Amino acid sequence: MAQVTLRKVVKMYDETPAVRGIDLDIADKEFIVLVGPSGCGKSTTLRMIAGLEEITGGEIAIGGDVVNDVPPKDRDIAMVFQNYALYPHMSVFENMSFGLRLKKVARDEIRRRVNDAARILDITELLERKPKQLSGGQRQRVAMGRAIVRDPKVFLFDEPLSNLDAKLRVQMRTEIKKVHQKVRTTTVYVTHDQIEAMTLADRVVVMNGGVIEQVGAPNDLYHTPQTKFVAGFIGSPAMNFIACRLEEAAGALRARLSDTLSLPVPASRTARYKPHVGKSSLLVGLRPEHIREEPRHPEPDLHLFEVMLDVTEPMGMETLVYFTIEGTEICGRVNPNAGAADGAKMRLAAELANMHLIDDSTGKVL
Amino acid sequence: MADIAVPRAGTAVGAGGRASLHRLMQRKSTIAFLMALPLILVISLLVAYPAFYSIYLATLNKSMERFVGLGNFSFLFGRETFWLVVKQSCIFAITAVIFKALIGFVVAHFVHNIPAKGQRKWRGMLLVPWVIPPAMSTLAWLWLFDPSYSAFNWILAIFGIDPVPWTGNAHWARFAVILVNIWVGAPFFMIMYLAALKSVPEQLYEAAAIDGATWWQRIWYVTLPMMRNIIAITALFSLIVTFANFDIVRVLTAGGPLDYTHIFATWAFRVGIESGDIPLGASVSLFMVPILAVAAWFILRDINQRGNEA
Amino acid sequence: MTALTASGAEAARRPQYGSISKSRRWALRWSYFFLVLFAIFFLTPPIYMFITSLKSSAEISAATNPWWVYSPTLDNYIELLTQNQYLIFFRNSAIVSVCVVAVTMVISVLAAFALARMKFWGSATLATGVFLTYLIPDTLLFIPLFKTFAFIRETLGIELINRWWTLIILYPTLTVPFCTWIMIGYFASIPKELDEAALIDGASWTQTLTKIFIPVALPGIIAATIFAFTVSWAQFLYPLAFTTSTDQLVLPVGIVTTLIKGDVFNWGQIMTGALLGAAPPLIIYAFLMDYYIAGLTAGATKG
C-alpha cells in the first residue's frame, strides 16, 4: 500500500514558480520516471515528495496519508542522490545502517537487513570499506543499499546515474531494473536522459517548464506523443519537424513541404486533419527511422522522393543521412549498404503512416 | 462511510502537522540563533563594544572626567613624536610588506621548482619563523643584535668591518625592526604563494612554452595573472597585521632609541597603559582604523566577487 | 639513405635535448642554492637560540666565537625547569591556551554550523561581521578593554586585571572570528546532499552536527584547533597589558619581563626560556604540518 498522489502541487522560489501545479497518481509498486530538460521541475517535484522542499501549494500523499507537513524521516521514503551522498567517514556497513541505528533498531536486526541488502546488490565483500575506496559503480550500489535497508514505502532516485561513465551507466540501469523487480517498491526516478526513462519506467512522466507534458508507458510516448515537446524529447536522434501547408485535392490531403515536395497524408488521417487545412503554423513530424532508403518491393503509405545528401554518419548498424528541405535540416536512417555518400543524390522513402501533424502555435500534436 | 472518513482523517493530520511544522521551522531558526549566540556575544561584547568605546574614550581628558571632543587629536597633531610615529608606521608597514611579498614569491618559486618529493621538507623548514611565537623569536634577534656581543658583528669583524649599532642608532634600529618583521612574515607569503602556484594548471605553462615564452614571460603572462587574487589578498592581510604589529617592536627596541622606532601600537601602549593616559592612547590606536578599513573594504569586495562567480 | 638522414636528423636534434636538460639542471642547482641561502636566513635565529642555550654565562661573557659551543652544558635548562617561576609561566600558558582552544572550538563550531546550514534572520550579515572582526587587531582593542575591566572592578568589585584567567576571556576575541570563518568554509564545502541524506535517515540537527559534520570536517577542526592554540600561546600584548604580578604571567611576557632584569641580561637563560616557550607550537607543527598549513591558507582561499 504505497501509492503516491500529487494534487495540484506548486513550488515557488520567492516569486519564481518551479513547479506549476502538477497532478500525478503513482500506483503501488510502480516504477515512475520523471524526465525533462534541466530546470523543468522534475528534481523539485522529487524533493517535495522526499520532504526536502516545502510544498508551496497542493497536496502530496504517500500511502493515502497527506505528508505535506511530515518531516522526511517520518515519510518512510529512501532517496538515492546524484552524487551518492555517502558519509565519507563511515564504512559501507555504517553508511547503510546509519538510519536504522538512529532508529535504535536491534543490532541483530540491523546486521540481518544490511546483509540481505548487500546480497541483493552483490556488495557483501565491500561492507568494511570506506566510500573513498570504492569505484563509481560500487558507490552507486552502496547508495541503493542504504535505501533498500530501510525497507521504505517509496524509493526516490535523483539522477543517480549521471555521474557514471557511459558504459557503467548502461550496466547500472539494468541493475536498478533488476533490483526493482526483486524488491518491488514504488519508485520515483528522476533523470534528464530519455533513454534511461524509456528503459526503466513502467510509466514515464515528461515534464517541461514546471508542468507535466504527458504521462504514459514508454512506447505510448514514443508512438503517440501529445505535444511537440514530447515528440521532440523522446527518441534519438530527435524527430524531424518540417514546416508544411495542408492542401486538399480530390478528397485527399497533402502536406506541402516545398514547391517541389508534398507528402500524401494517409487516408486514415484525412478526417482528423481536415479542419486544419490552410493553417500557417503546421509542422510535419517524422522520426529519422521513418525516413529510410527506397525498399526493393513497394509498400503502402510510402512516399518516395529524391534529395541531395549533405552529410552522412555511418553508425555501423545503420547510417544517418542529413539533407535540407527549405532550410530545415532533416535526418534519416538508412541501411549501411544503401550506398549513401556525402554530397550524393539518394532516393529516400518516408513512412507516412508514422507521421505526426503538429500545430506549432499551440504545441499540440493533432 | 470509509470514503468520507479517510479524507477527513487526512485533513486533520494535515492541519495538525502544518501547525507543528510551523513550530518546527520557528524552532529551527531559534536553535540556529542559540547556536550562534555565544559568537554574537563574543563579537558584540569583546570586539564591537570596545571598538566603539575607544572612540568615546578618545574624546575624554586624561582623568576621563571631562569631554574634550577632538582635543586629544589636536594635541597629537601638535606633537612632533606623533608625526614621527605616523611616518614610521607607514615606512615600517609598506617596506616590510613589499619585501615579505617579494621574498615569499621568490622562495615559493624555488620550492616549486625542485622535485616534488623534496618540497615538503623545504617547505617545512622555511615556515619555521612563522611558527615560533614572535615575542620568542624577537628575543633571539635581540641577542643577535646585542650591542656588545652581537653575533653578526662578530662575523663582520672577521671581514674587518666595524661593529654595526643594530638597535642603537635610529636608521639601523628601523632597519632591524623591519628585517625581523620580514623574517617573521615572509614564510607566510611563501606558503600562500606556493598553494597558489600549485593551483595554476600545468597545461597553461605547456601552452606558453609551445608559444615560445621565456621563463620570465611565463611568470609575467601566466603565473602572475593567475595568482593576482592570492597576491592581493595576502598582501592586504599582511598589511593589516604589519600595520597593527606590536610584539616585534616592543621586544626589539621598545620604540627606542628616542622614539625612532615607535609605531602606532607600541606608542599607544606606552601612552595609554604605561603613562596612564588612556584617552590619548585610545586616540593613537584609532589611527590604525583608516588603513584597516581600506584593506577590509578591498578584501570584502574580492570575497563578494568570488562569491558571485561561484 | 633514409635511415642515414633519419639518424642524422636525430643527431642534430640530440644536442638540443641535451641543452634543455642541462638548463633545467642549472635551474635546479640555482634553486637549491637560493633555498639554502634562505634557509640559513630563516633558521639562523632559532639555531642561535639553541647554541646560546647550551652555553654557560661565563662562556657567553668571554666573547668567544658566538656560533660555537666550546663547553656545552644543560645548566640553563635544569635551572629554568627547577625554577618555580618559569614553571608557573608554563602552567599559566598551558591552562590558558587549552581553555581558550576549548571555548573557541565550541563557540565557532556551533556558530559555523548555524551560519553555514541553518539560515536565520541576519545570518548573512553575521557571517560578514565575523570576517570583519577577524580584521580588527588586538592593538586596537586592548585600551578600551583595559578601561572596561577597570570599570568592572570599580562598579562590580570583580577584579579582572592582573589575573591570568582573564586571558581566557580576552583571547577568544582573536581566535573565535578566524576559527568560525574557516569552519564556515569547511562546513559549506560539505555537499548539501549529505545533510539531506542524514535528514532522510532520521537524524536531528544535533545528530547531523555531531555524527556527520564534525567527523567529515575533522581536518578543518584540527586546523582551527591548531590555529587557536598557536595564537593563544604566542599572544603577547594582552598579557603584557593585563597582567603584572609574576605569578600571573604567561610565558612570552614572563620571559621578556622577568628574565631581563634591568640591564643584566642572562642570555643563556633567556634563550633557553624562549626556546622552551617556542617548543609546543613547533612540536605541534612538526607533527601536524599539513593541518597547520591548511589552517593558514584556508583564511584567504576559503569562503
Helix residue ranges per DSSP H, A150-238: 166-183, 194-200, 218-223, 228-233
pLDDT over 70 at B205, yes or no: yes
CB contact (8 A) between residue A69 and residue B11: no
Other CB atoms within 10 Å distance of the CB of residue A58 = 17
- Cα distances (angstroms) measured from residue C88 to each of A61, B236, B295: 68, 38, 40
| B11 contact partners, CB below 8 Å, separation of at least 6 | A66
**Chain B from 212 to 251: CB within 8 A of any C CB:** 215, 230, 233-234, 237, 240-241, 244-247, 250-251
Q: By mean pLDDT, which of A74-88, B106-120, C2-16, C81-95 is the weakest? A: C2-16
**Containing H/E element for A9?**
strand A4-13
Higher pLDDT, A112 or B150: A112
Of C63, C119, C140, the CB nearest to B288: C140
Q: What is the DSSP string of C43-62?
A: HHHHHHHHHHHTS-HHHHHT
Question: Does residue A237 have a cis bond before it (omega within 30 degrees)?
Answer: yes
For chain B, what is the mean pLDDT? 83
Mean pLDDT of the A293-313 span: 86
Per-residue confidence (pLDDT) for residue B5, from 0 to 100: 34
- Read off the pLDDT of residues B44-81 as tens digits, 9 standing for 90 and up: 999 999 989 988 988 888 777 788 878 888 888 888 88
Mean pLDDT of the B184-198 span: 90
Domain B78-309 annotated CATH 3.40.50.12140: no
Per-residue confidence (pLDDT) for residue C206, from 0 to 100: 87
Architecture of domain A4-226: 3-Layer(aba) Sandwich (3.40)
Residues in chain B: 310
What is the percentage of chain B residues whose pLDDT exceeds 90? 26
| C84 contact partners, CB below 8 Å, separation of at least 6 | none
Question: At B25, is the pLDDT very low, low, confident or very high (cuts 50, 70, 90)?
Answer: low
Closest Cα in chain B to A55: B18
CB contact (8 A) between residue C39 and residue B250: no
Per-residue confidence (pLDDT) for residue B303, from 0 to 100: 67
What is the percentage of chain A residues whose pLDDT exceeds 70? 100
- Return the bridge partners of A252, or none: A249
- Residue B268, classified by CB atoms within 10 Å of its CB into exposed (0-12), middle (13-18) or buried (19+), is buried
- Quote the CA–CA distance of B235 and A1 in Å, as a whole number: 64
- Read off the pLDDT of residues A70-101 as tens digits, 9 standing for 90 and up: 888 889 899 999 888 999 999 999 999 999 99
pLDDT over 50 at B4, yes or no: no
Q: B167 and B253 in contact (C-beta within 8 Å)?
A: yes
- Quote the CA–CA distance of A134 and A148 in Å, as a whole number: 19
β-strands A252-256, A240-249 pairing: antiparallel
- Read off the pLDDT of residues C13-44 as tens digits, 9 standing for 90 and up: 444 445 667 777 888 888 899 999 999 999 99
What residue has cell string 540481518? A112
For chain A, what is the mean pLDDT? 90
pLDDT over 90 at B97, yes or no: yes
**Chain B from 87 to 116: CB within 8 A of any C CB:** 103, 106-107, 110-111, 113-114
Q: Enumerate chain B positions whose Cβ falls within 8 A of a Cβ in A.
A: 6, 10-11, 13-14, 17-18, 20-21, 24
User: Which cell numbers in the block locate residue B83?
Assistant: 608625526
Architecture of domain A240-365: Beta Barrel (2.40)
For chain C, what is the mean pLDDT? 85
B contacts of C232 (beta carbons < 8 Å) = none
pLDDT over 60 at B11, yes or no: no
Q: What is the DSSP string of C159-210?
A: --TT-TTHHHHHTHHHHHHHHHHHHHHHHHTS-HHHHHHHHHHT--HHHIII
Higher pLDDT, B178 or C259: B178
Q: Give domain limits for chain A.
A: 4-226, 240-365
CB contact (8 A) between residue C274 and residue B39: no
Question: At C12, is the pLDDT very low, low, confident or very high (cuts 50, 70, 90)?
Answer: very low
Of A52, A85, A103, the CB nearest to C202: A103
User: Which cell numbers in the block locate residue A73?
Assistant: 524521516
- Read off the pLDDT of residues B255-289 as tens digits, 9 standing for 90 and up: 878 888 899 999 999 988 888 888 898 999 888 88
Q: A200 and A176 in contact (C-beta within 8 Å)?
A: yes
Question: At B307, is the pLDDT very low, low, confident or very high (cuts 50, 70, 90)?
Answer: low
Question: At C2, is the pLDDT very low, low, confident or very high (cuts 50, 70, 90)?
Answer: very low
Per-residue confidence (pLDDT) for residue C3, from 0 to 100: 43
Q: Give domain limits for chain B.
A: 1-57, 78-309
Largest CA distance in chain B: 113
pLDDT over 80 at C262, yes or no: no
- Quote the CA–CA distance of B3 and C301 in Å, as a whole number: 61
C contacts of B32 (beta carbons < 8 Å) = 114, 118-120, 123
CB contact (8 A) between residue C212 and residue A87: yes
Q: Closest by alpha carbon to A286, among A259, A305, A271? A: A305
> CATH for C75-301?
1.10.3720.10
Per-residue confidence (pLDDT) for residue A251, from 0 to 100: 79
CB contact (8 A) between residue C216 and residue A89: yes
